[in-house]
Amino acid sequence: MTLSGRKKLTSMFLAFLCLVYSSSALAQPVIKEITGKEGDKIWFIEDHSIPVIQVKIAFKNSGSSYDSPQKSGIAYVLAQMLDEGAGNLSDIQFKKRLEEMAIEMDFDVDKDNFYASIKTLSENRKNAFEMLGMALTVPQFGSEAAQRVSGQLITSLTQKMEDPYYLSGIKWDELYFGSHPYSQPMMGKPETVSDIRRKDIVDFMRMKFVRSNMVVSVVGDISEKELDKLAYEYLYVLPKTPPNIDTPFLHNMIQEFIPPENAKTISLHSPNPQSVAAFGLPWLPYKHPDFYASHIINYVLGGGEFESRLMKEIREKEGLAYSVYTYPQNYDHASVLSGAVGTRKAKIKDSLDIIRKEIKKIHEHGITQEELESAKSYLTGSFAIKLDSNKKLMDFLTFVQLNDLGIDFFEKRNNYIEKITLNDVNRVASQLLDDSKLFTVVIGENEKQDK
């Protein structure tokens, strides 16, 4: 294969030439499901290539949307407090012990779930499981640590408000989700974080950290037998089901979100030279039969970086932005196609007009056969090679379990994409991709238009 003698022929020609080089079949990770004595399950990939073990626990229905609406930020504060001392170890002792053994312990939340994860050298596995178990069952929540953590969080939240990308995302969620719990920011708000008390996080933890909510994924240098033993000893000490706590907000269920009829646009003033707009519209959930068709629409519209229509029109043709993109956000009870663009203040409206125009175009005329082929080719070809580290495999196991996609999802996933036809995509585009449902938040609209 060589380029000489070829003058700008069609690119597809080249793509097939490459197949002459020895190809090796994609290696499939062997995913095991381990079932403990009491029925608890772990998804596990055994790998001894590096002496490292990574564990991720997700607690379902325990994310920021389950915060009390008056105290947005409870789940996130809990995440920040869990490594601030546990059992008989003070905050500083706990952290020093982690550092001593180079155990990395992280806690995080998204709208739906709470996550706890560890990375450890396999020689320290027992200590790592033990300390994770301590953090989840007997955290100290000392008042001095709590004050410090909440002060840090409030500062960091005020600082984040300076970032137009963060701000536009927060405002978009408020605008779109309205009174639904998904409108709450994941990290809380400065004014609500200061109201969070010890009892709030203790109750939240007792109610949520139970085995019926727990989804465990492990990748690394450990045997199945020992993993089962360590999990039994240090993780299955959590109660099976939630205790009886009468705090009302902890019993709130999240309803399926119904997208509003009328789209809205808001603009906020900003001193920045570059305006940032967040935009989005209703989308399909993973379990929907047309999900993969919508996935292809996203790739063609704004998900496929330089291959996307938005990047070609807004960046390459008009020079209006360095960055413009879309991506699907699939929550348990709502799905949206989100996107963002940054353009100098005087021209932000031009970028937004193009976005609307391109959405309309795909809505009315669909995508081309060539675009379909390119999207399928990228989405199938990149899938397995993106899972290029144990960390990513662990995240993948968690994702598949949380969305109930089946243990054979790795093998099946590309077939779902292969079978999509142009008719499927264009039918879905004509129903789904409706610019009249586009919600937009502009941070720093052109001053002239504000008047």
Q: List the interface residues with another protein, window 379-408 (CB under 8 A).
A: 380-392
Would you count residue 193 as binding another protein (CB under 8 A)? Answer: no
Tokens of 251: 């019993």
Q: Which helix (H) or strand (E) holds 393?
A: helix 390-402
Stretch that binds another protein, among 14-22, 33-41, 180-188, 358-366 (CB under 8 A): 14-22
Choosing from 30, 161, 245, 258, the residue that interacts with another protein (CB under 8 A) is 161
Shortest reach from residue 340's CB to another protein, in Å: 11
Shortest reach from residue 245's CB to another protein, in Å: 31
Would you count residue 269 as binding another protein (CB under 8 A)? Answer: no
Torsion of CA 198, 200, 202, 203, to 10 degrees: 150
Interface with another protein in residues 206-265 (CB under 8 A)? none
Sheet holding 41-46, edge to edge: 32-35, 41-46, 214-220, 52-59, 114-121, 104-109
Q: Where are the alpha helices (DSSP H) in 82-197?
A: 91-100, 125-137, 143-160, 164-177, 190-193
CA–CA gap between residue 357 and residue 17 (Å, rounded):
37
3-class DSSP state for residue 158? helix
Stretch that binds another protein, among 8-16, 107-115, 229-237, 286-294 (CB under 8 A): 8-16
Stretch that binds another protein, among 305-313, 397-405, 422-430, 431-439 (CB under 8 A): 305-313
Nearer to another protein, 27 or 253 (CB): 27
- Chain centre to alpha carbon of residue 254: 18
Nearer to another protein, 214 or 277 (CB): 277
CA–CA gap between residue 349 and residue 386 (Å, rounded):
36
Would you count residue 374 as binding another protein (CB under 8 A)? Answer: yes
Would you count residue 427 as binding another protein (CB under 8 A)? Answer: no
**SS3 annotation, 193-213:** HCCCCHHHHHHHHHHHCCHHH
* Nearest C-alpha neighbor of 285 from the set 339, 330, 326: 330
DSSP string, 318-381: T---S-EEEEEEE-SS-EEEEEEEEEEGGGHHHHHHHHHHHHHHHHHH---HHHHHHHHHHHHH
Choosing from 30, 48, 69, 158, the residue that interacts with another protein (CB under 8 A) is 158
Torsional sign, CA 390, 391, 392, 394: positive
Q: Determine contact, residues 205/362, Cβ cutoff 8 Å.
A: no
Binding string, residues 74-93; x marks residues near another protein by CB under 8 A: ------------------x-
Tokens of 339: 């996107």
- Residue whose pair of structure tokens reads 């999900």 in the numeric block: 291
Choosing from 249, 378, 399, 416, the residue that interacts with another protein (CB under 8 A) is 378
Would you count residue 162 as binding another protein (CB under 8 A)? Answer: yes
Nearer to another protein, 23 or 244 (CB): 23
Nearer to another protein, 308 or 335 (CB): 308
Nearer to another protein, 377 or 423 (CB): 377
Binding string, residues 279-298; x marks residues near another protein by CB under 8 A: --------------------
Stretch that binds another protein, among 15-23, 326-334, 401-409, 420-428 (CB under 8 A): 15-23
Binding string, residues 308-337; x marks residues near another protein by CB under 8 A: ----x--xx--xxxxx-x------------
Shortest reach from residue 21's CB to another protein, in Å: 5
Choosing from 304, 328, 339, 366, the residue that interacts with another protein (CB under 8 A) is 304
Would you count residue 24 as binding another protein (CB under 8 A)? Answer: yes
Would you count residue 368 as binding another protein (CB under 8 A)? Answer: no
Q: Give every CB contact of residue 187 below 8 A, 6+ residues apart in sequence.
A: 64, 73, 76, 153, 156, 157, 160
Q: Give every CB contact of residue 147 below 8 A, 6+ residues apart in sequence.
A: none
Would you count residue 22 as binding another protein (CB under 8 A)? Answer: yes
Would you count residue 143 as binding another protein (CB under 8 A)? Answer: no
Would you count residue 346 as binding another protein (CB under 8 A)? Answer: no
